[in-house]
Structures are given as C-alpha cells and as structure tokens.
Amino acid sequence: MTAPQQRKAEQVLGHSFADASLLEGALCHPSAGVPGAQFERLEFLGDRVLGMAVAELLYRHYPDDPEGMLSRRLAALVRKETCAEILVELGLEGCLRLAGDARGNQTIQGDACEALIGALYLDGGYDAARSFVERGWKDRLLNPPERLRDTKTRLQEWSLARGLGVPRYETVDREGPDHAPVFTVSVHVGEGLQARGQGSSKRQAEMAAAGQLLKEAGNE
C-alpha cells in the first residue's frame, strides 16, 4: 500500500492507524498472493462488529420497531452487497491490493469492507468502528421498509399473490477462477415465466435473476 493510498483510506475511515499493518492487511486480498496476509481473519472479526454496530444503531434510530422489523432492517444492512456498495461509494476499491481479474468482484468488495471494520476495531476500539459504520450506513439506516425486502422476497410475494407458487432457482453455469467466480442462475415462476441473472455468488445471481423477472413482469 502506497503512502497516498494509506492517507486516503485513513481520511475516509476517519481514523489514523497506530498499527498500519492492520490497515494494510484489510486492504490486501488473498488473491494478491502476499504471505501472512490477515485479510480473512479481519473480515471474520469485522462481520461481527458490523452486526453489533448496526443492531445498536437500529435500536436507537427505531425505538418503536418490533423485533421482526429490526431483524429485517439488520439483514438488509449487513448483506455483502450492501457492504460492497458502500466500499465503492467511499472510493476505497482503488486502495485494494488483489489479482487483476478479481477487481470489481462484489463479494471481494464486501469482504474488504468488513475487513476494514475489523481493522478499525482492533486499532481504535468499538467506538472507531461504530463511528465509521454510522457515517457509511447513514442513508441506508433511514431507508423505508419497502427497500428492505430483497428481490427474492419480493418475487416470492408477487408469485404467491398470483397463485403461481414458489419461484424455482437453478444454477446453470459457473465460470472464472475460484477467487473471482461468476455464477449464472435461472429462475422459473409458474409454467412460462423465467429470467436469468449473474453474480459473484449464487445468492447474488439469484437476486439478479429475481430482479430481472420482476422487471420483465412490470413490477420493478
């Protein structure tokens, strides 16, 4: 990681690292082939810290929400896709060290966002990590409930409401290297409705397929 990249990352994260190796570890994906990299361990930790921080923020922001609604909000906010979107929006993707064919992979972007939260927690404590999450997730914390139902959920509701049964998903292809796979999934509703979607995980591909079918059905 170059000095300008470190300065940019610290500025975006709102934290100056006492141990710069933590920041470097969070930005160095295993595909880069660097021995002793701690990316995956930081991601593991950051995933848990993110969940705690978002749960606390939701509890404070929505004092009248029942547990079920809080759980749906939490699930939407800690999804890998959400983490990836935030990493890109903050301009941190360019700081990642990874194999060339892995760049732009949404799963890796989401993992990196979680790894950065883990690094913040270890270097600055919970308050540093929580502060970043509160700033990075602020707009999404205020999203209306409709946005919290993912495309698979919305497609199933749409399908069942029309007596078409539960959507059926089938993985039809998998391409690319192990660290940057591309899945193609087909979704079928009833007897004749179908669509395809692609993503860097089966879930992402299923979501893309569901969104495409909803779009074609005029419900998006």
DSSP 143: -
Whether residue 64 lies in the annotated active site: no
Report the 10 Å Cβ neighbour count for 87.
24
User: Using CA atoms, how far apart are residues 70 and 61, in angstroms rounded to an integer?
Assistant: 10
Which one from 43, 81, 111, 114 is the annotated catalytic residue?
A: 114
Q: Is the dihedral of CA 62, 67, 71, 74 positive or negative?
A: positive
Whether residue 47 lies in the annotated active site: yes
Report the 10 Å Cβ neighbour count for 184.
18
Find the helix or strand (DSSP H, E) in which 57 lies. Answer: helix 39-61
**SS3 for 205?**
helix
Which one from 24, 43, 47, 111 is the annotated catalytic residue?
A: 47
Instruction: Spell out a b/e string for 13-27, using b for 16 or more CB atoms within 10 Å of the CB, else e.
Output: bebebeeeebbbbbb
Q: Which residues are catalytic?
A: 47, 114
